[in-house]
Amino acid sequence: MSNIGLIIEERSRDIGDFLVGRLIPFRKKRMIGPFIFIDHMGPTQLGPSKYMDVDQHPHIGLSTLTYMLEGEIVHEDSIGSKQLIQPGSVNWMTAGKGVSHTERTPEHFRNGKVFTAHGYQIWVALPKHLEDMEPEFHHIPGEQLPRWQDGTAHFTMVAGRGYGKTSPVPVHSELFMVEVNTQEDYELKIKGELRGEIGICIVEGAIQACGEVVEKGHILVSKVEDTCTISLRPNTHLLLFGGVPFAEERHIYWNFVASSKERIEAAKEAWKAKTFPMMPSDNTYVPLP
């Protein structure tokens, strides 16, 4: 029986084994495994008068994964971390019971020249039993990530497990994020290599799935683990992500993620009252929307 038929008006449509859309959450698909939010940053030109300056803002109940393709960002947070993130490396901040942070263009890029900023800011919900854990921050240089090649396709295990490889990023649930680059036509094998729900983010190029061509700027969400054949066109760049979904629903408000609405309400009140963990090195403040 064909599963073609579901059409989601806002940025997504059904093409057989997949839902196609632009970033998550979808209106009818709020999470892909434990991944609850993906923000595609750029590619955009910054400088000499426009830079990235995200002022101090809070998080609970999630880990943020920052992965830059071009440009650099300085991360600072309320537990004392300060880290420059460069293309190919991973910033992994686990908010747990509460953390505040900023993200800014580094000073050495504020030199009057124009540069490209391009990357992904990803939120991964925490398992229910870890939602109140102490916040943590980890930086993993790109050279520490597992990399391998199959024909002309190049793979990087950014986070989690898959294809027999394990990333050193200290994740808290069963998940995966894999970067794929290929210069020629390539048949991508997924069955048996990745566990759980599967998202395919097309950064560049195009793929053919279930008889349809889908181009960059879209995400495909697998509705079945045994997906149809996925053919990558030449010069295609993908991010595969997903994992085993949680049993409980997750609520999301602004930068807060939790399995209970009460936790979110408490975080909102703490941020408004400025009793939330704040950065001693920064006095900026993004008001609660």
Mind listing the pLDDT tens digit for each residue in 16-67?
544 444 455 655 567 889 999 888 887 888 889 889 899 999 999 999 999 9
Residue 203 CB neighbours (<10 A):
18
Token output for 210: 């279930």
Contacts 24+ apart (CB under 8 A), 49-52: 51/104, 51/105, 51/109, 51/110, 52/103, 52/104, 52/105, 52/117
Residue 249: predicted pLDDT:
94
Measured CA to CA, the distance from residue 49 to residue 275 in angstroms comes to 34
Domain 1-30+145-244 has CATH 3.40.50.300: no
Residue 12: predicted pLDDT:
43
In the chain, the amino acid numbered 230 is I
Stated as kind and residue range, the H or E segment containing 14 is: strand 13-14
pLDDT digits (tens, 9 = 90+) for 183-219: 999 999 988 899 998 888 889 999 988 788 888 888 8
Stated as kind and residue range, the H or E segment containing 267 is: helix 261-273
Measured CA to CA, the distance from residue 278 to residue 236 in angstroms comes to 41
Q: In this prediction, what percent of the chain has a pLDDT beyond 90?
A: 70
Q: In the chain, list all ranges with CATH 2.60.120.10.
A: 1-30+145-244, 35-140+254-275
pTM beyond 0.85: yes
Spell out the CATH class of 35-140+254-275. Answer: mainly beta
- CB-count exposure of residue 249 (10 Å: 0-12, 13-18, 19+): exposed
